[in-house]
Amino acid sequence: MAGTSHAGVTSEHLADLAAQSGLRKVGVRPPLGTYIRETWRRRDFARYMATSSIYAENQNTFLGQIWTILNPALNAMVYVLIFGILLQTSRGLENFIGFIVIGTFIYRFFSDSATGGAKSIAKNLNLVRSLHFPRAVLPISAVLAQFASLVPTVGVMVFFVLMSGIFPSVTFGGVDWEWLLLVPALVLTYLFCTGVALILARVMASLPDLDNVLPFVLRVLMYGSGVIFSIDHFVRDPVLSSIMQYQPVAIYLDLARQALLAEPTIPLVGLKWAVGAAWAVGTLVVGFIFFWRAEARYGRE
């Protein structure tokens, strides 16, 4: 009889049994609620992938994991020397060293997170094709790896800000309670970067040629976000200046600078924190849903 197995068990009964056991058809996108729960259950897997990625990155060098700190530190010193001292983009800033150092450290985290997230599906294609798990774990673990690398470098960033006070041309505002705001600033940046990584992971999985375009986009964003110069002092058009200052990358640089610097041109502004929270939550939600909608296609396109 149609719909009945040779043992008399109906196919509908088998389907119900499979569903009760947590099994589902291969290549079918699960409901959003189920997908969120499955992703959360794989958090240890994401954490393990992140730590493995960090360890593997510098394991073949003599200094090993020390490069995790040295790379952003050397990068910041180069930018301070070239743009802050030689090209004098520091005009109008009382602590140009702290301004550039914070900008380069935070932007590097965003840039590396975006790049890692974009490549997360292609980089783990064999894993995607051989094992069943929520694919969102891959871009999430890519950002988690960068965040884990950022945490120890924050101490170096703070050290640079503290040491900037020894230069006679720099005004150092000292340490106060506002420095505690660096923690929520980094958390918001992390949430935003995770959303961006999810969006780029889906886009790059469908259009791998865009991987060649991403470095140019990130370079434009760097100069358009005030990483090494103050947007206020170099962009005279008020409309363009507002757009540049309130785009998300510039917002997160500003929040970190509001926390650590006592710049008259970078006051503590509640509106920017509200905008930063909105960008973070909005991008994460949109990115997660955007990625989930193509769940059944990863590794098959």
Predicted pLDDT at 211: 86
Residue 73 belongs to domain spanning? 31-296
- Paired strand residues for 4: 10
Q: What is the pLDDT of residue 88?
A: 62
pLDDT reported for residue 202: 95
Please check whether residue 266 lies inside any domain of the structure: yes
Give this prediction's pTM: 0.85
How far, in Å, CA of 103 to CA of 119, rounded?
A: 24
Task: Tell me how far apart the alpha carbons of residues 17 and 125 are, in angstroms, rounded to a whole number.
Answer: 31
pLDDT at 61: 53
Q: Tell me what pLDDT residue 78 has.
A: 81
pLDDT of residue 90: 61
19 domain-assigned: no
pLDDT tens string 119-177: 999 888 888 888 888 999 999 999 999 998 898 889 888 888 888 777 656 666 667 88
Domain for residue 1, yes or no?
no
CA distance 50 to 43: 10
Residue 48 included in any domain:
yes
What local confidence, expressed as pLDDT, does residue 175 receive? Answer: 74
Q: Identify the segments of the chain with pLDDT beneath 70.
A: 1-27, 56-65, 67, 84-92, 167-174, 301
Domain count, the chain: 1
Instruction: Decide if 4 is inside a domain.
Output: no
pLDDT of residue 102: 93
Residue 25 lies inside a defined structural domain of this protein: no
CA atoms within 13 A on the CB side of 165: 11
Q: Would you say 12 and 104 are in contact if contact means Cβ atoms under 8 Å apart?
A: no
Show the tokens assigned to 207.
């259009």
Per-residue 3-state assignment (H helix, E strand, C coil) for 202-271: HHHHHCHHHHHCHHHHHHHHHHHCCCCCCHHHHCCCHHHHHHHHHCHHHHHHHHHHHHHCCCCCCCCCHH
Specify the pLDDT at position 127: 86
Residue 26, domain member (yes or no): no
Residue 20 lies in a domain: no
Report how far apart the first and last C-alpha atoms of the chain are (Å, whole number): 38
